[in-house]
Amino acid sequence: MAETALGRWLNIKFLEWQLHEGQRKNLTQFAEYLGMSQAYLSMCINGERESISQEMADRIAARFGDEIYEITGKQRPDPLYSYVTRNWDKLSSDQQHEIKEKVAEYLTGPQDTGS
C-alpha cells in the first residue's frame, strides 16, 4: 500500500508518544491510548485507510491537538466546545452542573411561533 499523509503523521505521533512516555511502546498500546483498535490503527498507518471518522479525528485531537483536522480534512469543532470537552473532568461538579443547565435552557428555550 502507498504511504498516506495520515499514516506518516500517525507514525510521527507514535514516535513522539514513545519519547514522551520514556520507553518503547507497541502499536497495541498506542491504539489503546488513542481509543481505537490495533487493527484500525495499523490500517491507517499502512495506507489501507486514507481517512478516518469525525469521531476518531476528535479523539486523536484530544490527545495531539487540532493538526489532525488539517491532515484528514475533517471539520474542526468549535474551540469553546473543544476546550470544555478536553477539560470536563477538571471542572468542579458545580461548574459541570451549570454548563448542563445552560445547555438544557438553550435547547428548551423560547420557540419561534412564527408570529
One-character DSSP codes across the chain: ----HHHHHHHHHHHHHHHHHTS---HHHHHHHHTS-HHHHHHHHTTS-S---HHHHHHHHHHH-THHHHHHTPPPPPHHHHHHHHHGGGS-HHHHHHHHHHHHHHHTSPPP---
Per domain, the residue ranges of the chain are: 5-72, 78-108
Contacts of residue 83, defined as CB under 8 A and 6 or more positions apart, other chains included, come to none
**Tens-binned pLDDT, residue by residue, of the chain (115 aa):** 678 999 999 999 999 999 999 999 999 999 999 999 999 999 999 999 878 999 999 899 989 988 999 999 999 888 888 788 888 999 999 999 999 999 999 888 776 555 5
Q: What pLDDT does 11 receive?
A: 96
Q: What pLDDT does 112 receive?
A: 57
C-alpha radius of gyration, the chain, whole number: 18
Instruction: Show the cell assigned to 74.
Output: 475533517
Q: What pLDDT does 49 receive?
A: 87
Q: What pLDDT does 48 receive?
A: 93
pTM over 0.75: no
Q: Does domain 5-72 have CATH number 3.90.245.10?
A: no
Q: What pLDDT does 113 receive?
A: 54
